[in-house]
Amino acid sequence: MSSHESWDKMLLTSRINYKVKVYAICVLMFFFVLFCWAYIMNESLEYKDSIIQTFSSNQEIMVSEVAKSVRGKMQAFAAINGYSPKQSQAQVVEEIIKNAETSGSRYWFFYSSSEVIYEKDDATTQSLKGKNLTEMIQSWRLQGGTGVEAFEDLILKESNGSLVFSKSNRSGTEIISLRSFTIDNVRYILGMSTQATYLMSVSRADEHVQYLYLFSGAISLVILILTLLLCLNIYKHQMVLNRTNKSLTDKNNQIQELTRKLAQKTEAASNASIYDGLTKLYNRKFFDTLASRIKDEVFLPVSIVALDINGLSKINAASGIEAGDEILEKTSEILQRVCIDTDVMSRTSGSEFTILMTTTDESSAYGTAENIKRQFASLNHADVTLSMGVAQMQENEQSIFSAVERARKNLTLDKMTDKNSNTYSFISLLMETLFAYSRETVSHCNRLKKRAVKLGKVLELSHSELSKLSIAAQLHDVGKIGIPDNVLNKKDILSKYERELIRRHPELGYQIVKLIPALDEVAVDILQHHENYDGSGYPAGIKGEEITLNARIIAVVDSFDTMINISVYASTKTVEEAVRELSNCSSRQFDPHIVNTFIKEVQKQNSTRSETAK
């Protein structure tokens, strides 16, 4: 079997599996909805039955009470000479039955074993005059009544109770409650009939059931819509899978075709002056045009490397533009030597270079950027350095330019840590201002920066995160600029008000740093560096991983450096004492993982120094 036939067979199997899934989901949802409706309808019937049963019980109690009165009255009349049964019956009807509770949908009936004594009202009674029970029951059967057999059975057994039946196919269902008793060997039956529709209306049962049906219908519609969406999602994934599989099959042909087209476009671009005249790399216009077209999945993942030469303007001013141009040309040579053929290298501004790397993730792009940086350092130009920023295009991004912006933001952060960069002036100015308030604080910040970056490397932070950590560590106490120096350098015990002033420095630092472009995330690290892992810190009292990773790193290193160096706030501790203090405060004040990692590094350094001393 050829590879093409095998591929066709695999695609056919995939399509069959997809159809089986869709069919199975539809069948399951159909039976699920069907089951739910059957259950709801059954529950509705049981609900109505329970209402009828409850009402029947109450109605039986009422009938029993009235029957007791009727029986007592008739026995009283029977004891009086001159009263015939007919007169007793008529008297009971007038005095008790007609005065008993009734309405348009509820009525009383009173039968003897041989005739209808009273039914509903005088008109109805008159129409039934002369009929006995057997004749009435037969009449109901002929008129299509339902449940007549149950009524007859209840009468014959001389039982008391309730039942549901209708007298004809045109009359509504009635709830009958009756009670029989015997006086002078004559059997009497007293009962009450209530229209079921009346009961359902009063109890609002039909309304409740209707609401239940409406709700169930809405739920069923939602389930059907969700099923449709699920099937559409499966269909969509199948289509994506088909396209992906096909793209994998045709990848070599696509690459060859893209290479051919790229060669044609390269030639056309060359004729249109798309190159930078000095470095022979692509210019900014071509880079932006090409970047806007990077949308095909075959190029993914795509990463951006932004590079900038620090100190180039000083070289131009001191040694002439030719010297600066030479550095630019050598940088271009390094890029062409390190990058591969599919990387698009361009000079996007005076000293800035941007590399677009297709089928390259962020980690690989960092590796390439580090290699470029190492080779640039070998040029032996002490006055110039190279900063870098890297970013990868995310799956949900429609344009590569979002990644370009992130790479340039990371580049700005890296430049802020380089003293040769003009951007470093932001940091320098803040540190000089802080120096005027407290020399000790500036020394502490510089030491903290080195320790924090070293710990960040052990924790395997990315280059951009290390840049943020370096800046945050150096500027973590910059908020002390806003605190009076007599409080900041006070050696005596601080008052409550003075302690509150000191505790405000994270918020002041946050307000200062967030005004600097690209340092919004660093400002948050500064704001949170006095938050404790258990939530007992300040200013917000957040805890755990709600605190940024950089702030948690700074908190550990800050405390350690303060303990082992001379401070106006506390006596100096040995390294061993400081390590014990960190360990004791682990999980309360500090992140336990960061504390453990930092302690290991401190112990490793002490061990190395001890061996060196020997």
Domains and CATH numbers, the chain: 3-205 (3.30.450.20), 255-416 (3.30.70.270), 424-613 (1.10.3210.10)
Distance CA 260, CA 130 (A): 110
Evaluate if residue 2 carries a pLDDT over 60: no
Percent of the chain at pLDDT > 90 equals: 31
Evaluate if residue 88 carries a pLDDT over 70: yes
- Determine the 3-state secondary structure of 118 from DSSP: strand
Tell me what pLDDT residue 347 has: 93
Under the banding of pLDDT at 50, 70 and 90, the label for residue 171 is confident
Evaluate if residue 4 carries a pLDDT over 60: no
Strand segments (E) across 116-269: 116-119, 144-146, 161-168, 174-183, 186-195
Average the pLDDT over 411-438 and give the result: 86
Tell me what pLDDT residue 140 has: 83
Q: For residue 420, how many other CB atoms are within 10 A of its CB?
A: 18
Angle at CA of residue 539, ends 535 and 540, nearest 5°: 55
Distance CA 578, CA 361 (A): 41
Lowest mean pLDDT: which of 42-46, 192-196, 441-445?
42-46
Tell me what pLDDT residue 511 has: 94
The runs of H, that is alpha helices, within 339-386 are 362-377
Evaluate if residue 1 carries a pLDDT over 60: no
What letter does residue 275 receive in the DSSP assignment?
A: B
Tell me what pLDDT residue 81 has: 63
Lowest mean pLDDT: which of 124-138, 253-267, 547-561?
253-267
Evaluate if residue 3 carries a pLDDT over 60: no
pTM for the structure as a whole: 0.53
Tell me what pLDDT residue 10 has: 59
b/e per residue, 507-517, with b = 16+ CB within 10 A? Answer: bbbbebbbebe
What's the chain's average pLDDT? Answer: 84
Highest mean pLDDT among 10-14, 41-45, 402-406, 488-492: 402-406
Cβ-in-10-Å burial (0-12, 13-18, 19+) of 84 comes to exposed
Distance CA 443, CA 214 (A): 73
Under the banding of pLDDT at 50, 70 and 90, the label for residue 435 is confident
Highest mean pLDDT among 150-154, 172-176, 366-370: 366-370
Distances in whole angstroms, Cα of residue 368 to Cα of each of 344, 352, 359, 415:
13, 16, 13, 18
CB 479 within 8 A of CB 505: yes
Average the pLDDT over 299-303 and give the result: 87
Distances in whole angstroms, Cα of residue 583 to Cα of each of 33, 415, 453, 606:
60, 35, 21, 17
Tell me what pLDDT residue 576 has: 92
Tell me what pLDDT residue 267 has: 63
Distance CA 77, CA 64 (A): 20
Tell me what pLDDT residue 161 has: 84
Evaluate if residue 175 carries a pLDDT over 90: no
Tell me what pLDDT residue 272 has: 54
- 459 φ, ψ (degrees, to nearest 5): -80, 0
CB 193 within 8 A of CB 109: yes
Evaluate if residue 582 carries a pLDDT over 90: yes
Under the banding of pLDDT at 50, 70 and 90, the label for residue 387 is very high
Q: For residue 189, how many other CB atoms are within 10 A of its CB?
A: 20
Evaluate if residue 553 carries a pLDDT over 90: yes
Evaluate if residue 534 carries a pLDDT over 90: yes
Under the banding of pLDDT at 50, 70 and 90, the label for residue 147 is confident
Average the pLDDT over 207-229 and give the result: 82
- Give 517-522's long-range contacts (Cβ < 8 A, gap of 24+): 517/412, 518/409, 518/412, 518/413, 518/416, 519/413, 519/416, 519/471, 521/468, 521/548, 522/413, 522/468, 522/471, 522/472, 522/475, 522/550
Distance CA 407, CA 401 (A): 10
Token pair 């030639």: residue:
267
Lowest mean pLDDT: which of 262-271, 344-353, 366-375, 378-387?
262-271
Tell me what pLDDT residue 213 has: 78
Dihedral sign (CA 197, 201, 203, 208):
positive
Of 117, 77, 79, nearest to 98 by C-alpha is 117
Under the banding of pLDDT at 50, 70 and 90, the label for residue 255 is confident
More confident residue, 156 or 469: 469
Q: Between β-strands 282-283 and 344-347, what pairing exists: parallel, antiparallel or unpaired?
A: parallel
